Amino acid sequence: MPNYTLYYFNGRGRAEILRMMFAAAGVKYMDKRFEFNEWDKYRKDMPSMCVPVLEMDGGMRMPETMAIARYLAREYGFYPKSNMEMMRCDYIADCFYEIMHDYMRYYHWKNGRFRFNIGGGNMMNPGMAGGDTMSPNYDNYMQWRYMNTCHRVLPFLERTLDMHHGGKHFFMGEQMMWCDMMCYCCLENPYTENQAMFSKFPKLMSLRTRVAAHPKVSAYLKSRCNTTW
């Protein structure tokens, strides 16, 4: 087994699915976390200037959350076997990631992070110094985008779960797969912020409870770092 190091901010975010998969597989790894004010120090050494990144044996560094998740899923038995089932698992996972992606952009924007990335100014007034003069209207766009994705994707996922045994097991049957862990991780902050919205998706909510009850996931959830996102 390679020596794995996972690089990400000190938050759950896009990396949490990877941490949960490591835990569910019982695989040890170095969980390298850093704060936002350390990002400039790390960024230039990350393959596409983005995290999460998975490093193997202190050498090669791999970017892209979902590519890393798929690698771990194949390696540690969280992918189904047939091509049709893999496709089902893939589109379920991708749907959850759509929510995660739009939520993260919304959340970080709302909290004023990464705005400084806009080269030579800010996007509304390219000649101005960036960072602190953004219009709050962008928050509306980010929120709309995120909510729109929820309204589009969640009913489909609820129906999809219901298709197998009325949604009483996992998405792919009796075995927990990585798309089930995506359901847990991608909806953590969304659920905490807006429980009313999720009352319309009781099967997805029960699935999250089943994932959290998996012995290794349950132990992980009790011992993990407690962060706000």
Contact present, 51 and 11 (Cβ < 8 Å): no
CB of 115 to a copy of itself, least distance (A): 10
Nearer to a copy of itself, 88 or 208 (CB): 88
Please state, in angstroms and rounded to a whole number, the distance separating the CA atoms of residues 207 and 124.
42
**How does strand 30-34 pair with strand 53-56?**
unpaired
CB of 141 to a copy of itself, least distance (A): 5
Nearer to a copy of itself, 197 or 221 (CB): 197
Nearer to a copy of itself, 98 or 224 (CB): 98
CB of 226 to a copy of itself, least distance (A): 30
Please state, in angstroms and rounded to a whole number, the distance separating the CA atoms of residues 172 and 25.
18
Distances in whole angstroms, Cα of residue 58 to Cα of each of 9, 38, 61, 75, 155: 19, 20, 8, 19, 42
Nearer to a copy of itself, 178 or 214 (CB): 178
CB of 50 to a copy of itself, least distance (A): 6
| DSSP per-residue codes, 5-57 | EEEEESSSGGGHHHHHHHHHHT---EEEEE-GGGHHHHHTTSTTS-S-EEEET
* Binding residues for a copy of itself (CB under 8 A): 47-50, 62-64, 66-68, 70-71, 74-75, 83-84, 86-88, 90-91, 93-95, 117-119, 123-124, 126, 135, 137-138, 140-141, 143-144, 148, 152-153, 156, 160
Nearer to a copy of itself, 93 or 186 (CB): 93
Nearer to a copy of itself, 87 or 219 (CB): 87
CB of 196 to a copy of itself, least distance (A): 16
Contacts of 196 (CB under 8 A, 6+ apart): none
Please state, in angstroms and rounded to a whole number, the distance separating the CA atoms of residues 65 and 54.
9
Question: How remote is the C-alpha of 64 from its chain's centroid?
Answer: 11
Helix or strand or coil: residue 185? helix
